[in-house]
Amino acid sequence: MAAGPKAGIRFERIAFLSNESAEGIAARDALIARYGHVDAEQADIIVALGGDGFMLQTLHRFMGSNKLIYGMNRGSIGFLMNDFSVFNLEGRLNAAEAKTVHPLLMEATDREGAVSKARAINEVSLLRQSYQAAKMRISIDGKERLDELAGDGVMVATPVGSTAYNLAAHGPILPLDAKIMALTPISAFRPRGWRGALLPDKAKVTIEILEAEKRPVSAVADHFELRNVREVTVEMDHATDLVLLHDPGHSLNERILREQFGY
């Protein structure tokens, strides 16, 4: 029978979850054999084994549960993850540094008037669905700021997500403790010189789709997609806490700082 964690450590009940890759499954089996395992609902902490995509899935799954999440990389990039090792997990969990982040809340109305809500840890993206450029009007806190943006789309990114799709679209990298969001255009055609904006994390962004039937647009909150939208609002959900654990010296703050210097 697998031995459980030693008495007296900070986390008595650990749940190990993995992606479906061979590396993830093998890592999960090895850790369970060494430390034991409980169902996620009864766990003090969740250890997620996979890449950044699996980490986002895990965070979404336990959003609002106050579960602590500690990730170890069994994927590719692993920006949100710690290095993988079977050894000294109790010590690593005891020494881990906690960081609380908040997701975005998207409220999207489609062309039929149906309203859907979803949360995003990385970004909310509005993307053209056809060969024609999307056209959008952008307002901040009820005041129009851009009467027409034409291009492939636009996104609102959190500091956590600023190094993901936002960075690929030439958006700014945001320090994790910065109380701001990035509003970043995606292949903007007009206005040609607009590079986006930095917004307070208490701002409410409203994006209206112009010529919605001729130029259809989808709204995507991380992995949730709603097609044929006509209006989308995005704001930071300060009422929802997500707690990530990282090894000392490998915090998200440190990783984001390294990204800004290109390593």
pLDDT digits (tens, 9 = 90+) for 112-158: 999 999 999 999 999 999 999 999 999 999 999 999 999 999 999 99
Q: Tell me the pLDDT tens digit for each residue of 205-217.
A: 999 999 999 999 9
Residue listed under structure tokens 């995509």: 53
* CATH code for the part of the protein at 104-236: 2.60.200.30
| Tokens coding 121 | 């840890």
Chain centre to alpha carbon of residue 23:
23
pTM of the full predicted structure?
A: 0.89
Is pLDDT at 59 greater than 50 in this prediction?
Answer: yes
Looking only at the bridges linking them, the beta strands covering 14-18 and 45-50 are: parallel
User: Do you find a cis peptide bond into 5, omega within 30 degrees of 0?
Assistant: no
Q: What is the pLDDT of residues 99-111, one digit of tens each?
A: 899 999 999 999 9
In the chain, list all ranges with CATH 3.40.50.10330: 14-101+241-260
> Pairing relation of β-strands 68-73 and 217-221?
unpaired
- Quick one: tokens of 58? 């895990």
**Catalytic machinery residues:** 52
Most confident segment among 135-139, 160-164, 190-194:
135-139
10 falls in which pLDDT band (50, 70, 90)?
Answer: low
- In the chain, CATH 2.60.200.30 sits at 104-236
Query: How far is it, in rounded angstroms, from Cα 33 to Cα 199?
Result: 47
Beta bridge partners of 113: none
Could you give the percent of the chain with pLDDT greater than 90? 83
Distance CA 192, CA 149 (A): 9
Rounded Cα gap, residues 179 and 107, in angstroms:
21
| Domain 14-101+241-260 grouped into CATH 3.40.50.300 | no
